[in-house]
Amino acid sequence: MNISTARFVLDIVTKLLNKPLSSDDYHKIGGSKNIFRRCVERNKGIGDTCTEALSNLIIKETKYNELKKNLIGDYLKQFLTLNEKNYVKRNPNDIKTIVKFVTAKFSAHNDNVPDVSNVQYFNLSTDGNFRVVGIRDLVSMGWNFEDIVNETIKIDYETINDITLEHNGDNDQWFQVVRENPETLRFLIDENTKVIGYYYFIPLFKDVFQKAKDGQLFDSEITVDKVPFLLQGIYDIYFIVICLRETYRKTFALKQMLFSVMELFEEMALNGIFVNEICTQAYSDSGIALCKSIGLKYLKNHIDKGKVYHGTILDILKHPLYAKFSKLKEMYTTKI
């Protein structure tokens, strides 16, 4: 379906950024506060001023979210010539030029451009702008340590059916484990610092990790003495949980969390910390689907509840979802 360039601008902003075009909040981004709305109404194409405003809006809304900017950039780059793509390759953060390349091309072809209004790949949640943060970030926002751990346990019971204290462990146990191993706990929060999901993985000593692979480990057994410190070396890790509150499932939020895991692996690798085997226990159908979706393989049933899934970091890095992590793949190919 072909539509006007102005309509393309509308779809880019409202569908990819989930922002209203005529909001009074955007009067500082270039031109008047109603420039987008007027452009769409008059249907005269975007022009230089509107291009600049759109570029500024994309940059403004992705200041703390490089992933979203990359997705938008990847979408726009499909309309570029080889020379333009080479420019973008050399200047990957020049989102303004990408927008100008694309919109100039649309204008030169009688304003006929693709309709992106139904592109699910960019169908971001309308519940807000999400960020992945660590414990220190939450503390700086006013949370205390006990509340943070309590919130993770609360989400566990909200999102996992029929789990017991034996499956999940208790607050005191996790206070100690997280205090000693805080760096691999990450939270997905909205603009109001509401925690809408989190993930946590830890290394385990060989005998404990084997017990997890054998389907005999209960999370309530994981105590500080079973978790090695992540210094330098190669570790086997146990993914305790990755979960989202139900309202946010199957949205951009899940992809953002999965990308965050790889970004954390990359940060660890740069510090000489590498992951080899990965093991986790899936309690639900959605957990099983997630494990299979990212390349983990079914190993066996847990002795009490759920299924054990297993794989290596190299297995996961083969997934098309992680194509952008070429640097991480290179580091792991030469190390493991």
The two three-digit tokens of residue 2, written as one number: 């072909």
Shared domain check, 188 and 330: yes
- Whether 21 has a pLDDT exceeding 80, the answer reads no
189 vs 14, higher pLDDT? 189
Say if CB 20 and CB 5 are below 8 A apart: no
Question: 33: helix, coil or strand?
Answer: coil
Shared domain check, 295 and 219: yes
Shared domain check, 117 and 159: no
**Count of positions (residues) in the chain:** 336
334 vs 216, higher pLDDT? 216
- In tens, the pLDDT along 29-57 reads 444 445 555 555 554 555 566 666 677 76
CA distance 276 to 162: 31
- CATH number for the domain spanning 249: value is 3.40.630.30
Q: Is 142 domain-assigned?
A: yes
- In tens, the pLDDT along 52-103 reads 667 776 776 665 456 566 666 766 777 778 888 888 778 767 777 777 777 7
Question: 274: helix, coil or strand?
Answer: strand
Q: Is 7 domain-assigned?
A: yes
- Whether 147 has a pLDDT exceeding 80, the answer reads yes
Q: Torsion angle, CA of 281/282/287/289, rounded to 10 degrees?
A: 100
98 vs 125, higher pLDDT? 98
Cα–Cα distances in Å, from 98 out to 30, 74, 85, 90, 242?
17, 10, 9, 12, 35
Specify the pLDDT at position 11: 62
CA distance 185 to 39: 45
Specify the pLDDT at position 130: 80
Other CB atoms within 10 Å distance of the CB of residue 239:
20
Shared domain check, 148 and 71: no
- First and final CA of the chain: distance in angstroms? 48
Shared domain check, 288 and 232: yes
Cβ neighbours of residue 165 under 8 Å, at least 6 residues apart? 220
What is the number of structural domains in the chain? 2
Nearest in space to 214 (alpha carbons), one of 305, 304, 315, 301:
301
Shared domain check, 159 and 101: no
Which domain-ending residue is among 121, 150, 181? 121
Shared domain check, 159 and 307: yes
Cα–Cα distances in Å, from 127 out to 32, 198, 256, 258?
27, 17, 14, 19
Handedness of CA 280, 284, 289, 290 (dihedral sign): negative
299 vs 127, higher pLDDT? 299
Specify the pLDDT at position 118: 43
Q: Is 113 domain-assigned?
A: yes
Shared domain check, 116 and 50: yes
Domain range for 116 is: 2-121
CA distance 66 to 320: 19
- In tens, the pLDDT along 276-312 reads 999 999 988 888 988 998 889 999 999 988 999 999 9
Shared domain check, 158 and 295: yes
CA distance 161 to 144: 28
Which domain-ending residue is among 121, 139, 168? 121
Specify the pLDDT at position 211: 97
Q: What DSSP assignment string belongs to 189-207?
A: E-TT--EEEEEEEEE--HH
Question: Please, what is the average pLDDT of the chain?
Answer: 77
State the average pLDDT over residues 132-161: 84
Other CB atoms within 10 Å distance of the CB of residue 17:
20
Specify the pLDDT at position 30: 43
Shared domain check, 161 and 98: no
Other CB atoms within 10 Å distance of the CB of residue 141:
10
Specify the pLDDT at position 99: 77
Percent of the chain with pLDDT over 90: 28
* pTM, two decimal places: 0.61
Say if CB 330 and CB 317 are below 8 A apart: no
Shared domain check, 92 and 226: no
Shared domain check, 181 and 87: no
Cβ neighbours of residue 306 under 8 Å, at least 6 residues apart? 281, 282, 283, 287
Query: Parallel, antiparallel, or unpaired: how do β-strands 307-312 and 297-301 relate?
Result: antiparallel
Handedness of CA 199, 203, 208, 214 (dihedral sign): positive
Specify the pLDDT at position 248: 73
Specify the pLDDT at position 200: 95
Place of tokens 């290394």: 203
- In tens, the pLDDT along 238-259 reads 999 998 887 776 667 888 889 8
- In tens, the pLDDT along 153-176 reads 888 877 776 666 666 667 788 889
Which domain-ending residue is among 121, 149, 167? 121
Q: Is 126 domain-assigned?
A: no
